[in-house]
Amino acid sequence: MTKPALTLYLAAPRGFCAGVDRAIKIVEMAIAKWGAPVYVRHEIVHNKYVVDGLKALGAVFVEELEDCPDDRPVIFSAHGVPKAVPAEAARREMVYVDATCPLVSKVHIEAERHHENGLQMVMIGHAGHPETIGTMGQLPEGEVLLVETADDVAGLQVRDAEKLAFITQTTLSVDDTAGIVAALQARFPTIVGPHKEDICYATTNRQEAVKAIAPRIDALLVIGAPNSSNSQRLVEVGKSQGCAYSQLVQRAENIDWRALDGIRSVGITAGASAPEVLINEVIDAFRARYDLTVEVVETAQENVEFKVPRVLREPA
């Protein structure tokens, strides 16, 4: 039987970013250096395939430091942790490695600098997300106020309207965040913003690539995990750009083929914690069902690389 023709637009950049790449490398190098098990507080990155692969090597994933023994190394996830966590690890004399993405660490440093200058912080982010918890945990209770939407700005109760600064979670939608920033600046004209946007280059680049393919496609599939903020934002960007069928899938087996019946073009991208092997798996699944033409749409090139901590580069 003749396969129907389909054009697959492959967004570039897509998938792994430098911070995710570094975090995974940190776990692999820690296991190579100290042997298994190595404990990891929270998922190192939000992707089941990646986490399962590291478990097979000897990583043990836990939610809290109290779940770790004193005599085994522990790694903190790429999303960052509150200050109290490394302080407690040091008190227990544990060997620990911080895999926080350097771009998240930059936001932490920014928040501390503003705090030292007597400013109260407003954080634009998602309540309960590990990155938000980690960033808010850099400063004492009450020093960081969280807003999730432009509507939240009206209800903010601040200590001094003249002494405010704002920071953002690194994995947000660029467009949504702009609206919240505008609301903050309208209500608090003297609020201090970041020198350079907090939303990371990888998040921005992946969103721009989706915007480039959206006008050409009947459907968009974003490969990523349900708890991945940057992946969920890519789905939202697809919808906001007019692609009504914009869905998150973890793997090829999660694709709803009936919903795609009759389409002539599909866009594929992946969140920053999704490996290329899963993207290829999805492309192969389309190739099995369609007479496929693959077109790469590249909107930026990425050559960022972050070094792993020195402790892992030194011999055991």
- pLDDT value at residue 284: 98
Q: Number of structural domains, the chain?
A: 3
Distance of CA 11 to the CA centre of its chain: 17
pLDDT in tens, 162-203: 999 999 999 998 888 999 999 999 999 999 999 778 889 999
How big is the chain, counted in residues? 316
Residue 205 shares a structural domain with residue 293: yes
- pLDDT value at residue 124: 97
- pLDDT value at residue 161: 97
- pLDDT value at residue 242: 94
- pLDDT value at residue 158: 97
Where residue 151 falls among pLDDT bands split at 50, 70, 90?
very high
Residue 214 shares a structural domain with residue 250: yes
How far apart CA 48 and CA 278 sit, in angstroms, is 11
Which of 215, 263, 200, 209 shows the shortest CA–CA distance to 234? 209
Structure tokens belonging to residue 223: 């490969």
Which of 241, 259, 240 shows the shortest CA–CA distance to 249? 259
Residue 12 lies in a domain: yes
pLDDT in tens, 51-85: 999 999 999 999 999 999 999 999 999 999 999 99
Exposure string of 78-109, with b = 16+ CB inside 10 Å and e = fewer, is bbbbbeebbebbeeeebbbbbbbbebbbbbbe
Catalytic residues: 131
- pLDDT value at residue 176: 86
Residue 84 lies in a domain: yes
Burial of 26 (0-12, 13-18, 19+ CB in 10 A): buried
Residue range(s) defining the domain that contains residue 243: 5-16+201-298
Residue 236 lies in a domain: yes
Contact 222, 9 (CB under 8 A): no
- pLDDT value at residue 83: 96
How far apart CA 57 and CA 153 sit, in angstroms, is 45
pLDDT in tens, 79-118: 999 999 999 999 999 999 999 999 999 999 999 999 999 9
Residue 22 lies in a domain: yes
How does the average pLDDT of the chain come out, rounded?
A: 96
Helix (H) or strand (E) holding 107: helix 102-116
Count of CB atoms situated within 10 Å of the CB of 156? 17
- pLDDT value at residue 81: 96
Residue 312 lies in a domain: no
Residue 122 shares a structural domain with residue 210: no
How far apart CA 92 and CA 88 sit, in angstroms, is 6
The predicted model gives 281-298 an average pLDDT of: 98
Whether the predicted pLDDT of 315 surpasses 80: no
Q: Is 164 helix (H, G, I), strand (E, B) or coil?
A: strand
pLDDT in tens, 17-41: 999 999 999 999 999 999 999 999 9
Contact 148, 125 (CB under 8 A): yes
- Indicate the pairing of strand 59-62 with strand 38-41: parallel
Which of 86, 85, 157 shows the shortest CA–CA distance to 120? 157
- pLDDT value at residue 1: 75
Residue 251 lies in a domain: yes
Contact 11, 192 (CB under 8 A): no
pLDDT in tens, 118-149: 999 999 999 999 999 999 999 999 999 999 99
CATH number of the CATH domain containing 212: 3.40.1010.20
